[in-house]
Amino acid sequence: MAGHSKWANIKHRKSRVDAQRGKIFTKIAKEIMVAVKQGGPDPEGNFKLRLAIQKARLNNMPNDNIQRAIQRGLGDLDGSNYEEVIYEGYGPGGAALLLEILTDNRNRTAPEIRHILSKHGGSLGESGCVAWMFQRRGLLVIEKTKEIDEDEFILAALDAGALDVKLEEDSLEVITEPSDFEDVKQALNKLGYTFVIEEVTMIPQTTISLEGNEKETMEKLLEILEDHNDIQNVYTNYER
């Protein structure tokens, strides 16, 4: 949900996420397992694994949990075989929804997602119906503080290879090509900048606003989708 103050959205959900840290760890472990199966256990040569481990550390996931997930990905420990699936659809008011799924039973997951959407004024769509609205981008978010010179930060980010820097009310958001994400992050880290969000995500090219009952229903729908065990990431063009 980047592109309209991702950090604001993160803070909006922070207390709920903190209360469900075990579920967050489980989802990250699944990402690590799949990344290892696809590209091996070396994060230096496996970009997807490197990002998953990075996410784990940002969420304070214990190193033992990370190592167990890697071992499961290698097949050294028992672990389910997860399939990556993308579901696309619509929420209240026609808001676009793009769901990244890791499931060990697609025949279970699809009906569950369809039911959740229909119950909250949405619907599951055909493949490609909303994907064109999103671009995969690297995202680095830093909180605004008195110590940060905004002009200096923007110049540093662009010099490091960023595509754009967006000024939000309480943060600055650096947008990169996925392939440049790591280089830009490391260059800014070396200059002393620390980020509250570091991820490769899907950013909507345009956003929509909802009001009244549609807004309330959409918020509830997003909460349910984000809590679903098989859904790794929820992207929408709805602007909170």
Considering the domain architecture, whether residues 147 and 186 belong to the same structural domain is answered as yes
pLDDT at 20 over 80: no
Strand partners, 201: 137
Check whether residue 50 and residue 95 sit in a common domain. no
Of 10-14, 90-94, 189-193, the one with minimum mean pLDDT is: 10-14
CB 2 within 8 A of CB 137: yes
221 falls within a domain: yes
pLDDT computed for residue 7 by the predictor: 57
pLDDT of residue 78: 66
Question: Do 14 and 122 lie in a common domain?
Answer: no
Last residue of a domain, one of 74, 97, 121: 74
Give yes or no: residues 165 and 212 share one domain.
Answer: no
Q: Examine the pLDDT at 95 and tell me if it is beyond 80.
A: yes
Whether residue 58 has pLDDT greater than 60: yes
Whether residue 113 is found in the same domain as residue 232: yes
Determine, yes or no, domain membership for 141.
yes
Query: Would you say residue 91 has pLDDT above 80?
Result: yes
Q: By the 8 A CB rule, do 87 and 101 touch? A: yes
Query: For position 2, what pLDDT does the model report?
Result: 39
Q: What per-residue confidence (pLDDT) applies to 169?
A: 87
Residues 230, 189 share a domain = no
Residue 140 contacts residue 159 (beta carbons within 8 Å): no
Which pLDDT belongs to residue 30? 94
Q: Which domain holds residue 114?
A: 83-132+206-236
Query: Who has greater pLDDT, 239 or 130?
Result: 130
Mean pLDDT computed over every residue of the chain: 90
pLDDT(47) > 80 = yes
- pLDDT for 14 equals 52
d(C-alpha 79, C-alpha 17), whole Å: 25
User: Per the structure block, which two tokens stand in for 13?
Assistant: 């959900």
Cα 195 vs. chain centroid, distance in angstroms? 15
The number of domains in the chain is 3
pTM here is: 0.86
pLDDT, tens digit, 9 for 90 and up, residues 144-193: 999 999 999 999 999 999 999 999 889 999 999 999 999 999 999 999 99
Least confident stretch, 3-12, 136-145, 205-214: 3-12
Residue 1 within any structural domain of the chain: no
pLDDT category of residue 77 using cuts at 50, 70 and 90: low
Q: Give the whole-number percent of the chain exceeding pLDDT 70.
A: 90
Average the pLDDT over 204-230 and give the result: 95
CATH code (residue 190): 3.30.70.980
DSSP 61: -
Check if the beta carbon of residue 65 is closer than 8 Å to that of residue 194: no
More confident: 169 or 98:
98
Residue 75, C-beta contacts closer than 8 angstroms, at least 6 positions apart: none
198 & 150 share domain: yes
